[in-house]
Structure 1
Amino acid sequence: MSAIATSGAQQPTASAASDTIVSFRGVQKTYDGESLVVKNLNLDIRRGEFLTMLGPSGSGKTTSLMMLAGFEVPTHGEIMFDGQSLRNTPPHKRNIGMVFQNYALFPHMTVEENVAFPLSVRRVPKHEQKDLARKALAMVKLEGKENRHPGQLSGGQQQRVALARALVFQPKLVLMDEPLGALDKQLREHMQIEIKHIHERLGVTIVYVTHDQSEALTMSDRIAVFNDGIIQQLDSPTGLYETPQNSFVAHFIGENNILNGEVTAVDGAFCKVRLNGGTEVTARAINIKGVGSRTSLSFRPEKVLIEGINADHPNQLPARVEETIYHGDHVRVRMTVAGSEGFTVKMRFRASRPIPVPGEEMAVAFAAEDCLALDPV
């Protein structure tokens, strides 16, 4: 179920409350007493889900995670964990696992000692520490590395050790702050799948922070998109990509084209929009203010047609090819559409079909369902 997190969020029902493990209630954070880094955050995190806090630098996502971990204190509001307020609970008593971007491993300890460290802090008997640490290492496929030191491991292996250490004491909640940021692209993509599989096996609740929208789409059950200290949209990966609720989300999640215009008519879930060049098209009315208001139309590159267009197609615009880039399975065609530059179309590549050439005049078309009328940019 999609939802928008706002300051006026309704109180959860009894059944929803029992399914909630973390609840931010009117949480604010300021460092200088003037500007709010996090603005009136209301967010319920479901038990067992993988929730990602996604946004650009300075959007408030990491600060929100650090307040949940206990490394930052809310200026206002309250954070509840499993029905209890965290207001007076220090970080080491929150029973929350934490994975950092820089791993934060102890270089003088062996891999097994690093993983067992949270158990020793909790005064688990020595013989149990060894058994639990080895089980955690097996879970992240690091059997046989118990006696090595972090410096003898690759970056991916060190990240696995950090993950095992966060899971070894069987916390109800694991927080991950940009944990794959230091890895190369191929290893990062591999670790995304590994973490997703571990989450599925264990059923532990994971709250994950990243600025990488592809990473968020790959791993998450739900994604909270942050900007300027506010959750812009809270939804499933499919919901965010297919139906962004405002222009920021549309541009931040995946590739996106925009055309600006004015709303001329509204008919239920759809509206008519006159583009700056004078052409009128039909779009889904997602976030508009009514007839006469300005709007930005949002299109995904893969949903725009540049071939096989019927002459009577209702949403058809003139275009000129500026550049084509071959990507193997598809061709990226950059165009000027209805006088607007930088419009991109993804065309599936077929050897039997000629690739458009720069300077070629043609038409583009799209279904009204695939064109979203959003707030102006």
Structure 2
Amino acid sequence: MPSTDTAFVRFADVQKTYDGETLVVKNLNLAIRRGEFLTMLGPSGSGKTTCLMMLAGFEAATHGEIFLDGRPINHVPPYRRDIGMVFQNYALFPHMSVAENLAFPLEVRGMAKDVIAAKVKRALEMVRLESFANRRPAQLSGGQQQRIALARALVFEPKLVLMDEPLGALDKQLRENMQYEIKHLHERLGITVVYVTHDQGEALTMSDRVAVFNDGVIQQLAPPAELYEAPENAFVAQFIGENNRLLGRVRTVDGPYCDVEVAGAVVRALAVNVQGPGAATTLSLRPERVVLANGTDGYPNRFPGRVEELIYHGDHIRTRVNVLGHDDFIIKVPNRAGHANDLRPGDPVTVAWLAEDCRALDPQPD
């Protein structure tokens, strides 16, 4: 993580509406540190791409101000913002060679030919495609095209690089490889990256921090591990990773813990975001934190259940259980010899988890 707390990019009370009535982005205040890899993550229509387009200069903020390196840029045209862009569709010129594509942003800046040649060579080395300089984009694979698009965004050494779903068109394995390529480039070059995606796995893999958007508002801004381990509300818990959701009502609150009534039983949980006794709440529980318990020690939450479905995933058995009135409760049972192999649909089981692994959050509709 960057050591400085100075904001390199800052959104100050930024709003955006397209029709004058509905706010697509609502009072956004966000500070991005120099050298940080920040991902804007959220479902379609959450406002994340609009924020990126306002930062790039392709959309104008309806209200508020955007700052880059301490300078207001609302009225600065895109080509003067010194920002590199990488899109999902690569946007490479098909009639130009790879080298010509990389040279183009340097030529429009009026750089000398020898300087351009040196920068193009360095950019190709950066993405390990030195031998592809004379090829046309159509002669490259999807992954190679994306690496060239990345090199073109970096070739003029911009202050900031913006990436809008850059890996969306790639297959799964290539997408995962490119995630590490981009992450390692960021670490090596120390550039500031703002990345937009709807893929939570991608965000967790690549980012220093993730801003989770929904309905034009940042729901939580935190490092990946904190988002996954300590979601602040039910939306983040459900959107980041796999999650078991139990709807209940708070009975008592005891310091950091609370007792919640769910389907006539009482569940012990962390009181993270609850209104107090009598209030509705959503319990959040990760599938890998649940066990099929044989002993009785150490688990304050123990409930009878019934196996509904078993799906083999190699390293674990995805076990769907009916428990506490929910037939879609998931447990990831580690695939250890003799541990889950004997389970069958219809078998009675005891399901258990720790209070520390169960978070009581804001109420959500069923």
Three-state SS of the structure 1 residue aligned to 2:20 is coil
The match for 1:343 is: 329
Matched, 1:188 2:172: no
| 2:313 is aligned with 1:327 | yes
Give how far 1:312 is off.
Answer: 7.5
User: Quick one: distance in 2 between partners of 1:80 and 1:50?
Assistant: 17
Task: Answer yes or no: is the 8 Å Cα contact 1:309–1:365 preserved in 2.
Answer: no
Residues 1:281 and 2:261 aligned together: no
Gaps of 5+ in 2: none
* 8 Å contact from structure 1 (residues 320, 360) kept in 2: yes
Q: Which runs of 4+ in 1 moved over 4 A?
A: none
**Cα drift, residue 307 of structure 1:** 3.0
Q: Which moved more, 1:129-138 or 1:349-358?
A: 349-358
**Which residue does the alignment assign to 1:144?**
131
1-side partners of 2:42 and 2:172: how far apart?
19
Q: Aligned equivalents of 1:312 and 1:107: distance in 2? A: 63
AA partner of residue 8 (structure 2): I
Aligned to 1:233: 220
SS in 2 for 1:283: strand
Q: 1:261·1:273 contact (CA, 8 Å) conserved in 2?
A: yes
Structure 1 residues 311, 136: closer, same or farther in 2, change over 3 A?
A: closer
Give distance in 2, aligned partners of 1:314 and 1:126.
71
The equivalences for 1:286-305 within 5 A come to 286-305=272-291
Give the alignment of 1:75-154 within 5 angstroms: 75-154=62-141
Residues 112, 146 of structure 1: 8 Å contact kept: yes
Q: Which amino acid aligns with 1:199?
A: H
In structure 2, the partner of 1:8 is none
Report the AA paired with residue 366 of structure 1.
W
**Residues 84-123 of structure 1, C-alpha deviations (whole Å, 9 max, x = no match):** 0002100000000000110000011110110111111111
Aligned to 2:49: 62
TM-score by length of 1: 0.94
Instruction: Find the aligned partners of 1:259 and 1:316 in 2 and give their Cα distance.
Output: 15
Deviation at 1:351, TM superposition (A): 2.7
What is the RMSD computed on CA atoms of the aligned residues? 1.2
Partner of 2:244: 257
Matched, 1:51 2:38: yes
In 2, Cα distance between the equivalents of 1:53 and 1:109? 32
Structure 2 distance, partners of 1:311, 1:44, is 46
Task: Tell me, in whole angstroms, the C-alpha distance in 2 between the residues paired with 1:176 and 1:312.
Answer: 46
- Alpha-carbon deviation of 1:189? 0.2
AA aligned opposite 1:236: P
For residues 361 and 173 of structure 1, the distance between their equivalents in structure 2, rounded to whole angstroms, comes to: 56
Instruction: Deviation per CA, 1:255-309: give whole Å up to 9, x if none.
Output: 000111111111121111111x211121011111111100010000000011334
Matches within 5 A, 1:197-276: 197-275=184-262
Q: Is the 8 A contact 2:287 2:332 kept in 1?
A: yes
CA contact (8 A) 2:298 2:354 kept: no
Q: How many residues align?
A: 361
Aligned position for 1:6? none
Give the TM-score of the pair, scaled to structure 2: 0.97
Structure 1 residue 365: Cα displacement: 0.7
Asked whether the equivalents of residues 294 and 350 of structure 2 are also in contact (C-alpha less than 8 Å), the reply is: no
Amino acid at match of 2:278: G
Confirm whether residue 318 of structure 1 aligns to residue 304 of structure 2. Answer: yes
More deviation, 261-270/21-30: 261-270
CA contact (8 A) 2:211 2:222 kept: yes
Residue type of the alignment partner of 2:221: L
Contact 1:287–1:375 at 8 Å: present in 2 too?
Answer: yes
Structure 1 unaligned regions, length at least 5: 2-14
Q: Does 1:307 align with 2:305?
A: no
